[in-house]
Homo-oligomer: A and B are copies of this chain.
Amino acid sequence: MIVVLKENPDPRQLENLMQWLKSLNLDVHVSSGSQQTVLGLVGDTTAVDIDLVRALDIVADVKRIQEPYKKANRRFHPLDSVIPVGCGIQVGGSHFQIIAGPCSIESSEQLCSIAQAVKASGATILRGGAFKPRTSPYSFQGMHEDGIKLLLEAKAATGMPVITEIMDISQLDLFDDIDIIQVGARNMQNFELLKCLGRTNKPILLKRGLANTYEELLMSAEYIMSRGNEQIILCERGIRTFETFTRNTLDISSVPVLKELSHLPVIVDPSHAAGIARLVPTLSMAAVAAGCNGLMIEVHNDPAHAKCDGPQSIRPEAFDALAKRVASLRALMTAQEA
């Protein structure tokens, strides 16, 4: 951490600052010029409250050099995290998983039919929304508890681990038999929810917020991890940009960068990023080529009558074709790495 002092700092205040920094077990190196004095802090600065330092009268600016996250940081955990998510499935490292299923759970027939189809095509984890975050209070909000029950039935029927989104701490009891709990983009900085999930022992799929940086995503992962639960799967699902042709803009660079900064697995959700079904296969291939640890894809047997996000859902036949193309590309990449 670098602390840039204002010109002619009060010597007593400077001395106080130096003492305080040393009390945090930091080494302080001073660079003094005619116009500017700069302090270089060396040591573990994770817990230094940067706002606190910036507020001091004698401080002009503070710049971090080390990342402010620790448990999510690859610097301190060089090896890839591999997270068992149930039914023998693992996420991370050299494993590649496809999560597929409908945006929202609508009926037993709908869910089972899709679940069997995607499983047959190669999907390994089943998704389905029971609690749906919708911009409008007048839109369908999901089947709630009944949706969870149908999802667990589909799990029993197919043997696939299941993932569904939580929207509030009060829903947690319903997630006892859910394998992976999803935190949606709009809740990425719902810090109370993150702390609560940090005290569970469930794998958490954490989606990046629509206007959040990599560092903010990793700090949200750190919230969960700091409470004890280190089973985090990161998910890129598109960010908001000025382009509105696609619903969001898939940030493909997030895949290699998050994998460089962190040991956590990175999954890509092209369905929400694009918001347009016909773009999903192309974006999926790009995400695989970028090295993601898996995909999360919305599949619906009747997109035109889906209760939610129909325009971005592909049909089972399209999913089947896509899964084959993904498998070939994965094989090519494995061969190239060898």
A-side interface residues toward B, CB under 8 Å? Answer: 2, 4, 27, 29-36, 38, 40, 42-43, 46-47, 49, 51-52, 54-57, 61, 63, 65-66, 68-69, 131, 133-141, 167-171, 186-187, 189-193, 195, 210-216, 219, 222-223, 226-227, 239-246, 249-257, 261, 273-274, 279, 282-283, 285-291, 303-311, 313, 325, 328-329, 332, 336
CB atoms of A133 and B256 under 8 A apart:
no
Residues of B within 8 A of A250 (CB): 251-253
A285 and B135 CA atoms in complex are apart in Å by 33
Query: Are A192 and B167 interface neighbours, CB within 8 A?
Result: yes
Question: Which residues of the partner chain B approach A55 to less than 8 Å between Cβ atoms?
Answer: 303-306, 310-311, 313
Q: A170, B167: Cβ atoms under 8 Å?
A: no
User: With A213-B244, A241-B239 given, is the CB distance from A38 to B35 under 8 Å?
Assistant: no
Name the B residues within 8 Å of A171 (CB-CB): 192
Find chain B residues with CB under 8 A from A167 CB. Answer: 190-192
Q: Is the CB of A65 within 8 A of B42?
A: no
Q: Is the CB of B47 within 8 A of A42?
A: no
Using A65-B36, A137-B226 as known contacts, say yes or no to A336 and B328 having CB atoms under 8 A apart: yes
Q: List 23 A-B contacts (CB under 8 A).
A: A2-B65, A33-B43, A35-B42, A36-B65, A40-B40, A49-B307, A51-B309, A52-B310, A69-B136, A133-B189, A138-B226, A170-B170, A186-B189, A187-B190, A239-B241, A240-B242, A246-B257, A249-B251, A252-B283, A253-B273, A257-B279, A285-B290, A329-B329
In this complex, the member of A38, A222, A252 whose beta carbon has the largest number of chain B beta carbons within 10 angstroms is: A252
For A223, list chain B residues within 8 Å (CB).
137
Verify B242–A246 contact, CB threshold 8 A: no
Please name 5 further chain A to chain B contacts, defined as beta carbons within 8 Å, in addition to the given A136-B222, A190-B190, A282-B290, sorted by A numbering: A31-B40, A33-B43, A49-B139, A249-B249, A252-B252
- Identify which of B29, B135, B193 contacts A189 (C-beta below 8 A): B135
> Nearest chain B CB to A24's CB is how many angstroms away?
12
Q: How far is the CB of A145 from chain B (nearest CB, A)?
A: 14
Chain B residue contacts of A283, Cβ below 8 A: 252-253, 256, 290
Contact B256 A279 (CB under 8 A): yes
Interface contact A253-B226, CB-CB below 8 Å: no
Taking a contact as CB atoms under 8 Å apart, the answer to whether B63 and A2 are in contact is yes
**Is A210 touching B211 in the complex (CB atoms < 8 A)?**
yes
Q: How far is the CB of A152 from chain B (nearest CB, A)?
A: 21
* Chain B residues within 8 Å of A313, by CB: 55
Instruction: Find chain B residues with CB under 8 A from A193 CB.
Output: 168
**Which of A171, A186, A307 has the most B CB atoms < 10 Å from its CB?**
A186
